[in-house]
Structure 1
Amino acid sequence: MVGDLIRFNHERACFIGRRISMLKHVIEILRHTDPQFKAVESLISSRGVNEASILIIANSLISYQLSVKGEEYWVMFSHYFSDKGKSVGLNEFTSFMGLSGNTRLLDQKKRRLARFLSSSIVRELSDDGLKYCVDLLELNRQLSMLYGGDYSKTVVFAVKMYSYLCEASGVKPLTAGIKPPLDMRNALFLLSSCIVEGCGADTECVGKIMSGRHRNEAVNALLKVCECGGLNCIELDVFTWLVTGVLRDTGFNVYKSSRLIKERYGVEIPVDTLQEISLCVKS
């Protein structure tokens, strides 16, 4: 089987991490121009930080198997819940999921929401929406315990989005120790940048490394990128989410991607860096 040949090249992961580390100033700009960050700012402005914190975490926990791009989904979410007449409850979320087309695995998502919305985390955030900014690892631990205690890409994504809320509120979050979310873009990043070896076509391999026995190896490879680049893994995810997203949308045309990144986010990524990230693209 092809899956049996999959290997993760940590030397290559270190090389890529060092290349990305030269763009830390760019990552800072990318974070603030990320449509998801802007969605967080909008919710804080309209709902206040306490309600916004609950809304943002809840939505993060169901942000998978979407029918639209993640950036578009979060813009829709912020527009919908910026209406103060919309309650922070399961029925309102169910209405939004129907409106936004987030209906795949709907019953599962409703159960995830119900568990979070009835948790002590929500009661604490209702009193202090910034409570976990000084301890994101504790938020990660508590959310993980709600859903079985294991690594979960949606949980670490929720922590990332909560860190956006902290920063947008003027509080620097403590991000050390947070693992990266192994979503489709990070899986594609591992493949396209040659960190994953011995796999088939990208469309086949993304699924293989996001689940099953290769998942932990993939997360460890991303951690190696962070370690060698001197990055926290939220910084890496800011970069991979936006840059890999553009590369994917252009068919990994590095010159077109460079122009689009400049237009969308106001930053320049060296073409040779984009080429390294795209070196092992397969059709």
Structure 2
Amino acid sequence: MERLVEILREFSPEEINEIERNDRQFKALERLYERFKEREEEFYRLVLINALMSYQLQMKGEEYWEKFAEFFSNSKGMEDFEEFLKRFNRRFLSAKLKRLKKAIDCVSQIKVEQVRDAGQLVEELAKCMGQRKDSKTIVFAVKMLNYAVKVAEGDELEGLEEIAIPLDSRIGRISKDRDFWRKLSEKTGILQIKLDAIFWICQNEEHLKSLPEELRMKLEKVRERIFG
């Protein structure tokens, strides 16, 4: 871990911000926001609901969020979510449609524009969805809402240091041990959901090529350290 810590400490906050803004999921939200500039609350709710439904996908996560942005840029709004799932998130559809109703009810109870504390949001989402606070979809929902807030307001949620990394399949290839990610965050000073962005993008070789050379070289060091 120590060599990895040394490499990660080379990233400045500005570079981490650039990594997030180059995330294809972030760029998808930028496109979607163009449609919802006058309806920010609905924009935030759509993002939260889709994040809560982001599991067992039939395509890569980046592609799924691009489909999401494209679909809802040309739809009426939240009432079209069932149709979206039937087209782009069909695995275990019956169970997902039940979960969708729960997610919509849950998110509808939250005054998203007033919730600017990530820890509070995790508490509320975990309670109404009946999941652990470190469950993948719960913490991923907070990550994506933070992206949405950055897109809409150029700001971030408070309390992000309380949020665990979303342990999906890509992150799990590196380590499924939550303690590993907590310690890595403590030693590098990089929040866990920011580490998530770094390790996601460094696993996508094609995406890496599109980044500025200096940043790409740093990410390739991470990639080499993890995968050899």
Structure 1 and Structure 2 fold alike (TM over 0.5)? yes
Matched, 1:36 2:25: yes
Matched, 1:122 2:108: yes
Q: What is the percent sequence identity of the aligned residues? A: 28
Contact 1:180 1:222 in 2 (8 A): yes
Matched with 1:87 is: 77
Matched with 1:20 is: 8
Matched with 1:186 is: 171
| Cα distance in 2 for residues equivalent to 1:236 and 1:49 | 27
Give TM-score, length-normalised by structure 2: 0.88
| Cα distance in 1 for residues equivalent to 2:10 and 2:149 | 25
Instruction: Note the C-alpha offset of 1:21.
Output: 2.5
For 1:88, give the aligned amino acid: M
Matched with 1:142 is: 124
For 1:177, give the aligned amino acid: E
Matched with 1:173 is: 157
Which of 90, 93, 96 is the matching residue for 1:103? 90
Larger displacement relative to structure 2 (47-56 or 103-112):
103-112
Contact 1:261 1:269 in 2 (8 A): no
Correspondences of 1:187-202 after superposition (within 5 Å): 187-190=172-175
Matched with 2:209 is: 263
Instruction: Note the C-alpha offset of 1:107.
Output: 2.1
Matched with 1:204 is: none
For 2:30, give the aligned amino acid: E
Contact 1:80 1:96 in 2 (8 A): yes
Instruction: Note the C-alpha offset of 1:49.
Output: 1.4
Matched, 1:131 2:114: yes
Contact 1:261 1:268 in 2 (8 A): no
Deviation string 1:9-28 (CA, Å, 9 cap, x unpaired) is xxx2x542342121234322
Matched with 1:198 is: none
Instruction: Note the C-alpha offset of 1:221.
Output: 1.1
Matched with 2:195 is: 236
| Cα distance in 2 for residues equivalent to 1:170 and 1:268 | 24
| Cα distance in 2 for residues equivalent to 1:227 and 1:76 | 35
Matched with 1:158 is: 141
Contact 2:208 2:216 in 1 (8 A): yes
CA change 1:263–1:144 in 2 (3 A) is same
For 2:174, give the aligned amino acid: F
| Cα distance in 1 for residues equivalent to 2:78 and 2:44 | 11
| C-alpha RMSD of matched pairs (Å) | 1.9
For 1:20, give the aligned amino acid: L
Instruction: Note the C-alpha offset of 1:149.
Output: 4.1
Number of equivalences: 219
Instruction: Note the C-alpha offset of 1:178.
Output: 0.6
- Unaligned runs of 5+ residues in structure 1 are 1-11, 191-208, 210-217, 247-256
Q: Between Structure 1 and Structure 2, which shows a larger proportion of helix residues?
A: 2
Larger relative contact order (CA 8 Å, sep ≥ 6): 1
- Secondary structure of 2:164's match? coil
Contact 2:86 2:93 in 1 (8 A): no
- Secondary structure of 2:113's match? coil
- Secondary structure of 2:29's match? helix
Deviation string 1:248-277 (CA, Å, 9 cap, x unpaired) is xxxxxxxxx3xx344333332334433211
CA change 1:164–1:263 in 2 (3 A) is same
| Cα distance in 2 for residues equivalent to 1:229 and 1:116 | 34
- Secondary structure of 1:140's match? helix
Q: Which runs of 4+ in 1 moved over 3 A?
A: 270-273
Deviation string 1:32-67 (CA, Å, 9 cap, x unpaired) is 111111122222221231111110010001111111
Instruction: Note the C-alpha offset of 1:86.
Output: 2.1
Deviation string 1:191-231 (CA, Å, 9 cap, x unpaired) is xxxxxxxxxxxxxxxxxx4xxxxxxxx11211111111101
Contact 1:55 1:88 in 2 (8 A): yes
Instruction: Note the C-alpha offset of 1:132.
Output: 2.0
Deviation string 1:55-103 (CA, Å, 9 cap, x unpaired) is 00100011111111111110110010012x42313xx222112222x11
| Cα distance in 2 for residues equivalent to 1:261 and 1:185 | 15
Give TM-score, length-normalised by structure 1: 0.72
